[in-house]
Amino acid sequence: MPASDTVTDTAAPQVLDLPDNRLLIDLCGPYDQNLVAIEKALEIQIIRRGNQLTLHGDPAATERGAAILNALYARLEGGRGVEPADVDMILRMGNSDAGTGVRSGDQIEMPIGGDVEIQTRKKRVEPRTQAQKAYVQALFDHEMAFGIGPAGTGKTYLAVAVGVSMFIAGKVDKIILSRPAVEAGEKLGFLPGTQDEKVDPYMQPLYDALNDFLPGKQLAKLREEKTIEIAPLAFMRGRTLSNAFVVLDEAQNATTMQMKMFLTRLGEGSRMVITGDRTQIDLPRGQASGLADAERLLKHIPKISFNYFTSKDVVRHPLVAAIIEAYEEEAARSTPGSDR
């Protein structure tokens, strides 16, 4: 197995006995990629022999590595999977500024959803961070909720999952997903085809999320019956959305008037979720973002939930978190009065 060439043994190694060989295989990952990720992050060496994992290196690092491996193994024993994103998340927890860092001797618990897990037709979805867990809970508890933060933090994905879950449970009669049809920094020009064919490229991320939660044939039937609708924001004008789970994605690209129009569509028995990233506004220069205005004007209303994410909540490829942090640092340096 690959291991760090720079590790020097300075104390007795940590030895883990993991009795279930099937779970051990899942813990290690394909080609031991999970072990390799932990080795690189902690600068230790992990040797696998039979049902034993032996950790060599700095005592504090090997102790932390053992705690991480035990937590991941406990997750597998609980019937959950371990993916690279889970390994990356638990490693990044140790570098957080929120006091959740893992020190020598700490008991580590994976950030799992517990009672806020989301069951869909194709998979069970669970929040991976505390911010995601609070967000999912807010989606179940509030009639209107905002999810604000960078790309890759699961804002839209979790909202669509909750919508599908509530639809399956009979708590809503339909799902309506919407986005502003705004081009991201480039002009696409005239798009041929029918109305649906023109707007489909803008809606593709919403299709992708739905395909993760519903079988293809069922999704096609529900769309044909208009039980699931995916439409540009402009198509919401004049409607009253009752008994529906409604998601507005990329809300930073809605104008103030569009945002007001959308928010006032809320009808009886409905839930409304608004997601966006304040750093990715594609509106013309000088055009105010409706998301920023809504945040400023509605924050005092107790029945509306505002949930925020940072780069530490990114659950895509680990590089995404690093990229977001680099841009955030550059923005902080260019802000007047910043001491960074």
- Reduced to 3 states (helix: H, G, I; strand: E, B; else coil), residue 12 is coil
Per-residue confidence (pLDDT) for residue 135, from 0 to 100: 95
DSSP 133: H
Domain 114-334 in the same topology as domain 14-93: no
Cα–Cα distance, 167 to 227 (Å, whole number): 10
Cα–Cα distance, 295 to 290 (Å, whole number): 9
Tell me the CA distances in angstroms from 261 to 118, 239, 252, 257, one per residue in order.
30, 10, 15, 6
Cα–Cα distance, 138 to 143 (Å, whole number): 9
Helix, strand, coil percentages for the chain (3-state, nearest 5): 45, 15, 40
Per-residue confidence (pLDDT) for residue 97, from 0 to 100: 38
Length of the chain: 340
Per-residue confidence (pLDDT) for residue 187, from 0 to 100: 46
Backbone dihedral angles phi then psi of residue 121, each to the nearest 5 degrees: -65, -35
Per-residue confidence (pLDDT) for residue 318, from 0 to 100: 67
Task: Compute the radius of gyration of the chain from its Cα atoms.
Answer: 23
Burial of 278 (0-12, 13-18, 19+ CB in 10 A): middle
- Which strands make up the sheet holding 228-232, listed edge to edge? 228-232, 174-179, 244-248, 271-276, 144-148, 304-308
Per-residue confidence (pLDDT) for residue 108, from 0 to 100: 54
Cα–Cα distance, 209 to 246 (Å, whole number): 14
Residues 6+ apart with CB under 8 A from 322: none
Cα–Cα distance, 169 to 244 (Å, whole number): 13
Query: Tokens 């044939």 identify what position?
Result: 217
Per-residue confidence (pLDDT) for residue 1, from 0 to 100: 46
> Angle between the 59-77 and 21-28 helix axes, to the nearest 10 degrees?
120
Tell me the CA distances in angstroms from 26 to 30, 36, 76, 327, one per residue in order.
8, 14, 8, 35
Per-residue confidence (pLDDT) for residue 83, from 0 to 100: 82
Indicate the class that CATH gives domain 14-93: alpha beta
Cα–Cα distance, 132 to 128 (Å, whole number): 6
pLDDT per residue as tens, the chain (340 positions): 444 444 444 568 889 999 898 999 999 999 899 999 999 989 999 999 988 999 999 999 999 999 999 989 988 888 888 888 778 778 866 544 333 334 434 455 554 445 567 888 888 888 888 899 999 999 999 999 999 999 889 999 999 999 999 999 999 999 999 988 764 444 444 555 555 565 667 678 888 889 999 999 999 999 999 999 988 888 888 888 999 999 999 999 999 999 999 999 999 999 999 999 988 888 888 889 999 999 999 999 989 999 999 888 887 666 777 787 788 788 777 766 544 4
Per-residue confidence (pLDDT) for residue 188, from 0 to 100: 41
Per-residue confidence (pLDDT) for residue 215, from 0 to 100: 93
144: enclosing H helix or E strand:
strand 144-148
CB count within 10 Å of CB 329 equals 12
CATH dotted code for 114-334: 3.40.50.300
pTM, to two decimals: 0.74
Give the domain ranges of the chain: 14-93, 114-334
Cα–Cα distance, 258 to 251 (Å, whole number): 10
